[in-house]
Chain A
Amino acid sequence: MNQIHHPMARYLRPGKEVTTSCPGCGEGIIAHSVLRAIDALGMDIDGFTFVCGIGCAGWIPSPYFAADTLHTTHGRPVAFATGVKLAMPDRQVMVISGDGDLTAIGGNHLIHAARRNLDITVLCVNNRIYGMTGGQVAPTTPASIRTTTTPSGNEEPAFDLCRLVEGAGATFVARWTTAHPRQLTRAISQALQHRGFAFLEVMSQCPVHYGKLSREGRATDSLDFFRNQAVRRNQAARMQPGELAERFVVGTLVGEEDIA
């Protein structure tokens, strides 16, 4: 019988093909997009160092990607990546980590790497919650959403991560969602080719915690939400501020031309 191989399986560590993500989690889509982008660019995965923090998103490269991987402490992957990149400037350094990791505990490292225009790619998996610790509020949780630590609803506003890093000096910024895997893959290739600090925010579903606590629903409901609420940059420019509430802009927000 012919064995069928997944086209991206060659980028995975042998024996590590089974994910630990929950069923319906968006992380598989993101892992796939990252590997497809590397594959499409014809890059050698041995030319990469993946750096990740603590949280579900940190487990996207670790231990699955068959490349040098530095799985660091919570919030610090960008700081570790700074050392790797400066000491080995010819290598691709890609950080993949969660919204809490990169923008709460690690927020200071993120803005300073953006300010330095450090030549790395940072992919932030924004599931709008702390997934790994069981559904606590994150700086990305929308106002009024119920989480395990905001039982009466979140009273704080959420960060706009793309505007945060843009303000700090990032020279490539894009936002996509797990409902847009093709666009995401192309944005990742753009980011990998960009010289300077490239930031990708990927809205991703966490059906187990966010979906349940916020009553957004199952994985497919979150994907519908992403698809319906996403607004392209040029569209957004023609909309009234009120119309943009609860919606988010997708596409390349800083850097080379938007992609189709």
Chain B
Amino acid sequence: MSEQGAVRTGRYFMQGNEACAEGALAAGCRFFAGYPITPATEIAEHMAGRLPGVGGVFIQMEDEISSMASVIGASWTGVLSMTATSGPGISLMQENLGYAVATETPCVIVDVQRGGPSTGIPAVPFQGDMVQVRRGSHGEYEAVAFAPASAQEMFDLTILAFNTAERLRTPVFLLADAAVGHMREIVEIPAADSIERLRRTLPDAEADPYAIKGFLDPDVAPMPVFGRGHKAHVTGSCHDAYGMRNVVDAQALDTFVRVLAAKIRRRTRELAVIETGNTADAQVILVGYGLVGRAAQAISLQARAAGLPVGWIRPVTVWPFPDQELREHCAAARNVVIMENNLGQMAPYFQALLKDQLVWSLPPQILGTLHHPDYIMSHIEEMLK
């Protein structure tokens, strides 16, 4: 495989979905399985064209259930693997998403969100899956998700998603939407040797296969990938550190759930990526993630220009919820406005976090569109009266 061919260093006018695919290739992704769906299809199409040229594998599966399954199967051979879909496909992936969490399988799932519920509207941007990716699979677990706001971030955060997946041995979501996926912007692809590429740790090649503790370490166990004589036993059933099934002890379940959760929870701070502006003295803070975060920033700057004490926050990491950073940046503000392109999916998390402040949930006037500046400004003026 050629690193040269995989990383297309240069400056491009590029679609967000294409930038995501290029980010995946630059990160080292060499397996893609998916099923066509608007507005994510361009990622699959781009990978179908590019992967064979870099020694990778592309397959269009029969549905999203099998896409997620084969991504996990490929990851267990040691290959960086991913899929990309939208709401209806995300619903179908929930079953094996839980399997990836339970078996500590690194992989990346791109959700280019569209209008829902159900078939909804395919090409209208929406942020309808924010909590589903967090809580959509059954049982108790932690999720990791990043929300890109630009074509450049589709590239950069896809690399971050792979690095995080590899480092923590867990599935990682890229939570885009139809607007970010379909927008065309300048994308800079850096030189191959300046891109950080993290890889899962592997057990010693000579290790006694029955002595490998390949699971359930809060500090992330080495992954006993297939084909190296590790005799790995991988199961979505409750298991111990050796991967051996235990479906009788509540104590084993307790350890299984707590260790998997701790692996992510302990790293909430280091996983937190958040952009802010003018929060120190702000009386009103506009919060938005994804493309809405850019609107929050623009409106906040417009308010500042009019002399109003307004700041903005754009959480790039949405899961694990970056609570400490958010609390710190919101400390001065009496009013915190959660702008979301949905009816307030993340707002309850902010309301629970900022109990002593006024937390407003503010959808756009028309769902599927960006918040109009005048609409937000009128709210800001009301709050500052």
Contact = CB atoms under 8 A, between A and B. Distances in A.
Interface in B48-107: 57, 59, 61-63, 65-66, 69-77, 79, 81, 95-96, 99
B379 to A, nearest CB: 46
Nearest to A15: B210
Contacts of A83: 31, 33, 69-77, 81
A79 B231 contact: no
A82 B59 contact: yes
Interface size class of chain B, counting residues whose CB lies under 8 Å from the partner chain: 35 or more
Interface stretch (A61-69, A200-208, A214-222, A226-234): A61-69
A87 B69 contact: no
Given A63-B245, A81-B73, A86 B57 contact: yes
A240 to B, nearest CB: 38
Q: Chain A at the B interface: mostly helix, strand, loop or mixed? A: mixed
| Contact size range, A | 20 to 34
A120 to B, nearest CB: 11
Contacts of A79: 61, 65-66, 69-70, 73
Contacts of A73: 69, 95-96, 99, 236
A86 B31 contact: yes
B226 interface: yes
Q: Which of B59, B70, B71, B244 has the most CB of A within 10 A?
A: B70
Given A71-B235, A73-B236, A86-B31, A108 B63 contact: yes
A76 B77 contact: no
Contacts of B200: none
A109 interface: yes
Interface in B269-292: none
Interface in B92-142: 95-96, 99
Given A69-B233, A73-B236, A88 B227 contact: yes
Given A68-B226, A72-B99, A82 B73 contact: yes
A13 B233 CA distance: 10
Given A76-B96, A108-B62, A14 B76 contact: no
Contacts of A13: 210, 231, 233
Interface in A136-186: none
A49 interface: yes
B231 A71 contact: no
Nearest to A52: B235
Q: Which of A14, A69, A80, A85 has most chain B Cβ within 10 Å? A: A80
Contacts of B227: 49, 68, 88, 91
A84 B69 contact: no
B260 interface: no
Given A79-B66, A82-B66, A83-B74, A71 B59 contact: no
Contact of A80 (B57, B73, B232): B73
A68 B237 CA distance: 16
Contact of A70 (B62, B76, B209, B237): B76
B221 to A, nearest CB: 16
A109 B209 CA distance: 31
B314 interface: no
Nearest to B102: A73
Interface string A84-96: 1111100100000
A68 B76 CA distance: 10
B226 A49 contact: yes
Given A63-B244, A87-B31, A80 B70 contact: yes
Contacts of B66: 76, 79, 82, 108-109, 112
Interface in B197-239: 209-210, 226-227, 229-237
A51 B99 CA distance: 14
A256 interface: no
A105 to B, nearest CB: 10
A258 interface: no
Contacts of B99: 72-73
Nearest to A44: B229
A84 B77 contact: yes
A224 interface: no
